[in-house]
Amino acid sequence: MTAHTGHRAGHTSLRRPGLAWGAAGVAATAWAGGVGLVTGFLALSDASTSRLPFASPALGGIALVLFVAVPFTIVCVLAAQGDEQAEPLSALAGAVLVGWIVVQLAFLREVSVCHPLFVAVGVAFLVADWHGPDGLPRHREVSGPERGK
């Protein structure tokens, strides 16, 4: 689903409400998790806390906000505005989310239902860049050695 908007004469953009809402969901959960860890509202087990850098859930919460909440908030805003940078940034945010889960698993060495769920979400955001706002695959111009094949 896309909405056409004319921001200025001769310029039409495509808003991406699905991308915006998906990014908003990820951003909201990351903001909630980050704030919860920083404030102590979300408590980790002593074993999990001891595996964190400096044994600090607050540091983990700050990292969650910086690496997940902020990028997905930016993707949400850009997609809602119809900015053409929304898709490439969604791919970057999706890759960072998958990386975040891998790093989290390496540190905590505990698996929850959320881990495979958010890996799948991260991959979905990666794929959002492969398809245009109309859902069709993008045709990218080929340059360099691949050109002319």
Identify whether 140 is part of a domain.
no
pLDDT value of residue 118: 92
Identify whether 145 is part of a domain.
no
Identify whether 122 is part of a domain.
yes
Note whether 98 and 122 are within 8 A (CB). yes
> Higher model confidence: residue 134 or residue 62?
62
> Higher model confidence: residue 11 or residue 34?
34
Average pLDDT for 97-124: 89
23-27, 36-40, 75-79, 129-133: the lowest-pLDDT one: 129-133
Distances (CA, A) of 97 to 19, 93, 142: 15, 6, 28
44: containing domain: 14-132
Q: At how many degrees (to 10) do helices 86-108 and 114-128 cross? A: 160
CA distance 134 to 140: 15
Average pLDDT for 53-74: 92
pTM score over 0.85: no
How do residues 14-35 score in pLDDT, each as one tens digit? 778 889 999 999 999 999 999 9
Query: How many structural domains comprise the chain?
Result: 1
**Residues of the chain above pLDDT 90, percent:** 43
42 Cα distance to chain centroid: 22
pLDDT value of residue 1: 45
Identify whether 56 is part of a domain.
yes
